[in-house]
Structure 1
């Protein structure tokens, strides 16, 4: 297991990246994050809002980001570090736009 401080820093960095991508469509202050046992979940709105994605960074061997798509579909992307999230910014934009229907 990685150092907890490093994991926390990576989760904060990942949250900031997702929030920056989504802020083109939703005010940045509307994004929130909730820590769970094995991941962090990003929401639009409060913690009862629509989930955008989850970060699974606690494993020393495998890190991933899970996107919550329409129709209860989920897609998991393997990443080396939070900056890899930028590679699928279009998917994040789609999820954020869809969340606007529920705001």
Structure 2
């Protein structure tokens, strides 16, 4: 009986370069969408805290809307729906928590 893979029988994959590229593109879009959601939440925190001037709030709003449009275009190109990559509010809240997690000393 021979091993299914090893030095004499390397593991091989039949990968279509187009499929691999599309998969990588989808992964990148998903990661960028998560970063966009985090930026949006952080911007809302700053607005709620009153640390932005009215013109800064206006520019920030326009920038976030434009970013959302661009991401929509990229999601369409790579066949990723917004629901495919949305994190729950609990996950996002943990990522942008204001208090750092406690550090264990050992």
Could you tell me the TM-score, scaled by structure 2's length?
A: 0.31
By percentage of residues, which structure has more helix?
Answer: 2
Which of 1 and 2 has greater Rg? 2
Structure of higher RCO (CA pairs closer than 8 Å, 6+ residues apart): 2
By percentage of residues, which structure has more strand?
Answer: 1
Could you tell me the TM-score, scaled by structure 1's length?
A: 0.32
